[in-house]
Amino acid sequence: MTTLSLSGLSLTLVGPSDEDAIREWYELCCAVASADYPDDPPPCWAHELGSFRHPWPGEVRAVWLARVDGSPVGACTLVLPTLDNVHNAHGDILVAPGHRRRGIGRALLAHLRAEATRHRRIRLISWVAQPLDPGAPDPAGRFAAASGAVPALVQTRRRLDVSTIEPDMLARLDTEARVCSKDYSLVQWVGATPPRWLDDIAYLAGRMSTDAPLDDLQWEEEIYDAARIQGRDTCWLGRGLRVITTAAQDRAGRLVAHTHLLGGTTSPWFAWQGDTIVAPEHRGHRLGMLIKVANLKLARRERAELRLIDTCNANSNTYMVSINEAMGFRPHRRAVDWQLGL
Ligand SMILES: CC(C)(COP(=O)(O)OP(=O)(O)OC[C@H]1O[C@@H](n2cnc3c(N)ncnc32)[C@H](O)[C@@H]1OP(=O)(O)O)[C@@H](O)C(=O)NCCC(=O)NCCS
């Protein structure tokens, strides 16, 4: 274990086998979530533990716990892409609610900057949850702006309350989408990607990294192959996520569109919307709506307790936003990618 000293704080690198430190990290995440995001599902232990033991393919992640007198007061995370985007780093900072406005966040950011620079990264990107109401308290946005970062990609997180869906609504959306997509059939699965579809899913995953609007975010295409998709699936399953997928197949037998829903073990009533993408040459056939409606129906059958689904889209992504609004998703929060030149 590496211990650093920084402005009176002790900083400890958390290792994958140090379950006590991972537990402290998890408790810090829970304290921050209940103070700042009380209407969101709480952090999931299986997911947090799994995040140390089942790394995301194509990146290296380091988490440091900050302590004062032995007690955790904050944490920071650095993620370094290794296969593409090798000039970028992702950073994340948490400060315990009772220890804020004392310069701990600033000290943790200085540490992330130094570490990212040491690894030859030229920018630090952070995904920050912010309120919809511009007049509401926004410590994270104020902190990011004070650090000199710029808001490069502004997204809105929308939420669907599945229990409020009108009985006829999904049937109507499904019928409308099918009229325009007669040349396609649906393929669905739960869990890891079946081997026969790995190459098609790799193509779609790569397109996803740049086809969704990035606005001013400096992010290059991610390189996916079958092995990286298998690594991604292993990571999801190792973190306790149940992944529900619907894809569209064209007449030639290729998968040309797909969408995922991901649910954790702690809150079976909640799921995250994962990627939704239609290959460029197959757009304009309502495939986006077709696969999302079909996947929602499958998810309701697979997870009887499912009540809330959250999705996040760039404000400039008008096509995806219009599908989500038609399905009943409504704005819940802003999610902004802040970018800091190093
Ligand atoms: C954002 C967060 C990390 C800030 O931590 P912190 O230790 O309170 O930050 P610092 O004391 O170092 O503040 C540095 C500067 O940020 C700005 N700032 C931080 N909190 C602020 C607030 N509530 N209101 C206005 N400005 C604020 C100020 O400019 C501050 O400098 P100052 O105190 O000299 O005026 C903390 O609120 C937090 O953990 N939030 C939840 C998790 C999160 O959103 N993290 C951001 C993702 S990277």
Residues 175 and 102 in one domain: no
Q: Which domain holds residue 317?
A: 159-334
Distance CA 288, CA 117 (A): 40
Q: In testing the pocket of ligand 1, which one of 95, 108, 143, 334 has its CB within 8 Å of the most ligand atoms?
A: 143
% of residues, the chain, pLDDT over 90 = 96
Does 146 map to a domain? no
Q: Give the model confidence (pLDDT) of 87-127 as tens digits.
A: 999 999 999 999 999 999 999 999 999 999 999 999 999 99
- The answer, yes or no, to whether any atom of ligand 1 lies below 6 A from the CB of 53, is no
Does 113 map to a domain? yes
Strands 308-314 and 150-161: antiparallel
Reduced to 3 states (helix: H, G, I; strand: E, B; else coil), residue 333 is: strand
Residues 163 and 113 in one domain: no
Residues 230 and 82 in one domain: no
**Residue with tokens 């309502």, as numbered in its chain:** 286
Which of residues 121, 136, 169 is at a domain's end?
121
Residues 99 and 197 in one domain: no
Which residue's alpha carbon is nearest to atom 20 within ligand 1?
Answer: 139
- pLDDT, mean of residues 253-270: 97
Q: Which atom of ligand 1 is nearest to the CA of 93?
A: 48
Does 197 map to a domain? yes
CB 289 within 8 A of CB 176: yes
- The answer, yes or no, to whether any atom of ligand 1 lies below 6 A from the CB of 32, is yes
Does 138 map to a domain? no
Residues 222 and 106 in one domain: no
- The answer, yes or no, to whether any atom of ligand 1 lies below 6 A from the CB of 108, is no
In this structure, is the dihedral angle defined by the CA atoms of residues 40, 46, 268 and 320, taken in order, positive or negative? positive
Reading the block at residue 139, the tokens are: 């410590």
Q: Which atom of ligand 1 is nearest to the CA of 92?
A: 48
Residues 14 and 75 in one domain: yes
Q: Give the model confidence (pLDDT) of 151-197 as tens digits.
A: 999 999 999 999 999 879 999 999 999 999 999 999 999 999 999 99
Does 133 map to a domain? no
- The answer, yes or no, to whether any atom of ligand 1 lies below 6 A from the CB of 126, is yes
Residues 244 and 303 in one domain: yes
Q: Which atom of ligand 1 is nearest to the CA of 146?
A: 29
Residues 321 and 236 in one domain: yes
Helix 318-327, helix 169-180: angle, nearest 10: 140
Neighbouring residues of 137: CB distance < 8 A, sequence distance ≥ 6 = 131
Predicted TM-score (pTM) of the model is 0.93
Which of residues 91, 121, 151 is at a domain's end?
121
**8 pLDDT tier (thresholds 50, 70, 90):** confident
Does 143 map to a domain? no
> What pLDDT was estimated at residue 6?
61
Which residue's alpha carbon is nearest to atom 30 within ligand 1?
Answer: 143
Distance CA 75, CA 51 (A): 15
Give the CATH number, domain containing residue 20. Answer: 3.40.630.30
- The answer, yes or no, to whether any atom of ligand 1 lies below 6 A from the CB of 131, is no
Reading the block at residue 280, the tokens are: 């460029």
- Quickly count: other Cβ atoms within 10 Å of residue 318's Cβ: 10
CB 145 within 8 A of CB 105: no
Q: In testing the pocket of ligand 1, which one of 29, 93, 101, 142 has its CB within 8 Å of the most ligand atoms?
A: 101
Residues 213 and 298 in one domain: yes
Residues 117 and 163 in one domain: no
Does 115 map to a domain? yes
Distance CA 7, CA 104 (A): 9
Which of residues 121, 150, 174 is at a domain's end?
121
Residues 73 and 176 in one domain: no
> What pLDDT was estimated at residue 2?
46
Q: Which atom of ligand 1 is nearest to the CA of 107?
A: 12
Residues 188 and 115 in one domain: no
Domain count, the chain: 2
- The answer, yes or no, to whether any atom of ligand 1 lies below 6 A from the CB of 102, is yes
Q: Give the model confidence (pLDDT) of 31-79 as tens digits.
A: 999 999 999 999 999 999 999 999 999 999 999 999 999 999 999 999 9
Which residue's alpha carbon is nearest to atom 1 within ligand 1?
Answer: 140
Does 207 map to a domain? yes
